[in-house]
Amino acid sequence: MIEYAENPDKTTDPKYLEEDLYNALKYAENDDKTDQRLFVAGINCPKQRAYEAMMAVKRRFGKIGGTVAWHGFQSFAKGEVTPEEAFEIGKETARRMWGDKYQVVVTVHLNTDNLHCHFVVNPISFKDGSRFQNKIYNHRRLREISDEVCRERGKSVLENSNFYGGKSRGVYWAEKKGHPTHRDMLAKDVEYCLSVSYTRKTFYQQLRGLGYEIDETRMSVKGKGWDRAVRLRGLGYTDEVIDRRLNRNFSYGYSFVGQVWNTHLPKKNKSVLLASIAHELGYQIERSHDVAEIYIDLLFLIIIEALRAVKEIKNAVIMSVELRHQVKDLTTLIEDHKFLQTTGLRTIPELDRYITDTQTQIKDYERERGLLRNKIRRETDPVVLADNREARSEITKHIEPLRKELKRARKIREKSPYLHSLLEREIEMETPYCRLTCDGRVVMKDAPDRGAR
């Protein structure tokens, strides 16, 4: 059994603790789901010490961190297999898929109407230290092997089914989490551009004004940072649909289009201007090349306010495609900003010091907990033993939130330079169309100056 891994003191060094790996194994081996672990097996590792064996391989090849494990599952039709049959099918599937290079824990869960197997795979090969590639071709291979094993045993399989419902993996998981995808946001932009265009030329100008690249021959659109372009017909905008919309606009007499949009920039009164938001919050982009001058709390707030505007105001626009698509991470950005406010962290150096100090706190707590662990091992007095265990639990309660805070601080440290580059690029794109008013506001060049007399 792997309960020993629940106590980080039992690893030789705290840096070798992989909590996510342990949690995956713990879930897969849940007693209530596996009939008291009758249906748990280890492929290339002992099931009783799977965590230790997997961590030993990671240490041997110096590959601690990164993806800690891959977690797959194999489900069977209701009433078609017994737990024993499901267990044998699962083990054979794991052997054929990973048995030559990787360690796997295989379990059968009995807590639903459909029996199903779980696979927890160590991504580091015990054979040569190479990493398992979680690519779509390996997903297909796993399905092929699973189907092959099931057919050999006279069990049914899903014929001609598409991965992720025919969608890409990224789209599937984005939708699963309730996040807008590239395609969702592109469709919204295309719809808006069509609403203010009356020829193919103006339609393409509007899309380019939003930062997209257009292949007019293939009728495909690509944003900066995308792996591949999206064909408009795949969004439902065929040549016929586009021409019909443009012709209708032309027949309505769109003589005011030029007043609404510049050929490169949307110019509605409610359009987002990050330069204006940054100016109002006191963020000086020209001084922010020095990391000590980057106020990360303001950086996050500026982007949050801009993304909120795009989300809540129908005709609000951010020019940069990359920045506009950060809206999918808006909830995380808000949580990051709250963390910065709570801790009072404002600059990158302050954040770096916080990370170092938090690491030190965790090590001090772990050292104290280690001393208690040794006392617990030697103690024979039940009263003192109970007190020491309670003290150890209290220390663990301090460590857990610190680890979460450290994880968030590191992620903020990692993403801050990228967000700053997006903000800098957006303001650069806006600059030709902005001006400073008499009362110190940043507005569109064609907007009235309320400070003028």
Kindly write down the DSSP assignment for every residue of 276-333, as one continuous string.
HHHHHTT--GGGTTSGGG--HHHHHHHHHHHHHHHHHSTT---S-HHHHGGGGGHHHH
Please report the pLDDT score of residue 271 as a whole number: 53
Please report the pLDDT score of residue 446 as a whole number: 53
Please report the pLDDT score of residue 13 as a whole number: 37
| Helix (H) / strand (E) containing 70 | strand 70-75
Provide the 8-state DSSP code for 146: H
The CA distance from 313 to 280, in Å, is 19
Domain boundaries, the chain: 3-161, 177-264, 271-453
Give the tokens for residue 114: 């459909």
Please report the pLDDT score of residue 410 as a whole number: 93
The answer to whether the predicted template modeling score (pTM) of the entire model surpasses 0.75 is no
Strand bridging mode 213-215 / 116-121: unpaired
389 burial via Cβ count (<10 Å: 0-12, 13-18, 19+): middle
Look at the block and give the residue holding tokens 């103006």: 202
Strand bridging mode 230-231 / 220-222: antiparallel
Please report the pLDDT score of residue 412 as a whole number: 93
Task: Collect the ranges in the chain with pLDDT lower than 50.
Answer: 1-17, 32-36, 173, 254-270, 286-292, 447-453
What is 3-161's CATH topology?
Answer: BirA Bifunctional Protein; domain 2 (3.30.930)
Please report the pLDDT score of residue 185 as a whole number: 78
Distances (CA, A) of 113 to 2, 47, 83, 109: 27, 26, 12, 10
| Torsions phi, psi for 221 (to 5 deg) | -130, 140
Please report the pLDDT score of residue 36 as a whole number: 46
Distance of CA 343 to the CA centre of its chain: 24
The CA distance from 293 to 284, in Å, is 9
